[in-house]
A and B are shown apart, each in its own frame.
Chain A
Amino acid sequence: MKKRLFFLSVMTAVVGMALVCAPVYAVDTVKIGVVGPRTGDAAATGKAFEEGIQLATAYVNAKGGILGKPLEIVFEDTAGAPDKAASGFERLVTRDKVAMVLGESHSSSALAEIEVANRLKVPFVVVEAWADPITAKNYRYVFRAGPSNSGVVKDTIAKWVVHEGFKKAYIVAENTDWGLGIAEISEAALKAAGVSYASLVTERKSQDHYMELAKIKEFDPDVVLAFIYGTGLHYFVAQAGEVGLTPKAVVLDGAGPPSLWPDFWTNVGDYGNLECFVSSMHKQVELTPLATQYREAYVKAFGQAPTDYKSRSIYDAILIAADAVNRAGATDAEKVVDALESTALLVTRGTARFGTEKGGPEYHQWMPPMLVIQWQNKEQVVLYPPEGATGKLKR
């Protein structure tokens, strides 16, 4: 009986203390939501986002926060699944009452999320989901501060293929909005450039590409444009090496980050050497002083140089969001959208400016510059654009 009374007293005290103390510790913040995969095949992207969030939050709060209040980021895991992404987005808005939402790295998830953003009238800045329809739908509340399929292909991949003098290309695309979309744009760009090509679609989660590789080998391409995201890309690269497709043909990872994930070399072994990938980040190509500042802050916080460029992409998006809300003078969605439309902010990848002309994917789109990089003895060598190149293609 005494024990029970004692337990009850302690519990009462604890609950009482919690109730009394709660208001003391409750800090008035401006909440911004981030959506991204923290679990699933692309969980590494979620980790990269978390790193970028940590650095950006510290940066924004050191500069006075947002509207004089500290910035608070609420991260919602989407697991790379469109249904989870849509419900997670809605949860951020209805439960956490965020002023706006940023992030995403899967086009199919982003396409589900933009419908929710449009319905709930919440500004959404997409960071690393590339499918053109995300901005081509011309939704007032949807922006993209990151690459688009058409931008990456026309500005970088197609030009690089021509620059290297490749005559035959094979396109391998996963069956997602990003994969199918970028394959279609690549086909049109290669055709326009006079490059002979063939293409096939692969299952996103496939771990066995031998049949497809036999078909590709028969075509004897100079370059394989692999639009496969996640660890699926690792299987493809390793198996391409096993069947002897590489190094005769060059494989370009058309997304980028999977070639930079910590388990890349474990999964692909030596077959990863001479693989090419698309990226917006390289230690010798820093376009703004903020890029250098970001790298230094990253090294200080995590004890190593940044690898996955998506940590820097979300960092930029948070700075863009903070700038827009501060200029809007409120978290009101309409004012924030107006402020975003007039953004001209120097971030790590250049000056962010969103297109305002309706009718195509350029609406509310800011396309940062991209690079083509090749692994040469585990060193990253920039191949394209020529003005940023740190070496030449090896085969």
Chain B
Amino acid sequence: MDMRMTKNRWLLAAGLVAFALLPWGLGVYHQHIMIVSLFYVMMAASWNLLAGYTGQVSFGHAAFAGIGAYASGILAAKAGVNPWVGVAAGTLLAAIFGFLVGILCLKLGGIYLSLTTLGFSEILHIIINNEYEITRGTMGLQVPGLLSEYSKLAYFYIFLAGALLTLGVVYRLIHSDLGLNFRAVQNDERAAASLGVDVVKVRVLAFTVSSALAGMAGALYGHYLLLITPQIPSLDQQFLVLSMTVIGGMGSFVGPVIGAFGLEILSEYIRAYGEYHVLAFGLVALAVARFAPRGMVGIFRSVWERRRQAAVHPSLPAESP
């Protein structure tokens, strides 16, 4: 067992090293796709922590990314604050807003929570659009980069570090005692409370951590694009993140990673269809939610399980009639 775990760790480390070296062999365009994919890994993994592990389906996740992006961007562009300090401030502000929204939604669940976060997202969007003297509205706020010299390769490693940090935080949380509490709250809130789980703490903590991670992702993304627009906290962005998580596998650790890379790469190929590619993702997400609720990860697992069963019991048919 130990040997198997060691082997798996080595494989994971080798895979990570190979992935980290990959951009050296790619052109600028493909490096850009990898960077954007890593941004979506951060977004989808942090949303998954909330929706997949505690069952709180929030539609305000992109809004928290927007808070991080605009806080960092405004500080850097208007107050001359170092962009790295701006990223930290943006992350903190998103965490504070996440905490407040988490408290606001304490007694809300299901559709009511989703509607409240949807309202929060729209309010933020309207404020950003109308307060153009501060945010520049739809004109976009031009912000300085994180580096004195623009380099796709350097941004790739910054986003890789951000994605690993996000995945590390999510992994540690879901594999701790708190993770068990998350699952308990997701499965049955009342039963969890009757067994001594502090439901309020679990929900607010999940909201705060998830929002902080989204804020960090948004802040990094804004400084990478050198331009922050209301597109970052838009519902389009929210539904794209939702689609990535659902298609990849909501409630699984690697699902959002698969979904983020899969859909971002696919979207580059179907970009010519304009906004319709988001619609296509939404339809695929609906179909996956209906017919394969565990997403791509669930499909892989069931195929793997079937093969393993067939290997253990060769006399059994591989497929049911």
Contacts and interface: CB of A to CB of B under 8 A. Distances in A.
In the complex, the 7 A-B pairs of residues with the closest C-beta atoms, listed nearest first = A82-B140, A94-B29, A108-B139, A95-B29, A94-B28, A39-B274, A83-B229
B227 A38 contact: no
A112 B129 CA distance: 17
B227 A90 contact: no
Contacts of A79: 274-275
9 contacts: A38-B274, A39-B274, A39-B275, A79-B274, A82-B227, A83-B227, A94-B27, A108-B139, A175-B132
A42 to B, nearest CB: 13
Contacts of A112: 140, 142, 227
A168 B238 CA distance: 47
Interface in B259-277: 272, 274-275
A4 interface: no
Interface in B127-154: 129-130, 132, 137-140, 142, 150
A108 B140 contact: yes
Nearest to A131: B139
Interface string B14-52: 000000000000011100100000000000000000000
A111 B231 CA distance: 17
Contacts of B274: 38-39, 77, 79
A39 B275 CA distance: 8
A208 interface: no
Interface size class of A (residues with CB under 8 A): 20 to 34
A81 B229 contact: yes
Nearest to A205: B138
A203 interface: yes
A246 interface: no
A81 B231 CA distance: 9
Given A94-B28, A203-B130, A115 B226 contact: yes
B206 to A, nearest CB: 30
Interface string A53-84: 00000000000000000000000010101111
Contacts of A86: 225-227
B225 A83 contact: yes
A333 B45 CA distance: 42
Given A95-B29, A119-B150, 16 more contacts: A39-B274, A77-B274, A81-B231, A82-B140, A83-B229, A83-B231, A83-B232, A94-B27, A108-B139, A111-B139, A111-B140, A111-B142, A175-B137, A175-B138, A176-B139, A203-B129
B238 to A, nearest CB: 16
Interface size class of B (residues with CB under 8 A): 20 to 34
A211 B315 CA distance: 79
A108 B275 CA distance: 20
B29 A81 contact: no
A163 interface: no
A126 B151 CA distance: 26
Nearest to B141: A82
A233 to B, nearest CB: 16
Interface string B221-243: 00001110101100000000000
Contacts of A39: 274-275
A91 interface: yes
Contacts of B150: 119
A182 B51 CA distance: 47
Interface string A94-114: 110000000000001001100
A154 interface: no
Contacts of A203: 129-130
Interface in A343-395: none
B142 A176 contact: no
Nearest to B231: A83
A176 to B, nearest CB: 6
Contacts of B142: 111-112, 115
Nearest to A115: B226
A177 interface: yes
A91 B32 CA distance: 9
Contacts of A177: 139
A291 to B, nearest CB: 33
A119 B151 CA distance: 10
A87 interface: yes
Contacts of A175: 132, 137-139
A204 interface: yes
Interface in B67-109: none
A204 B229 CA distance: 15
Nearest to A201: B132
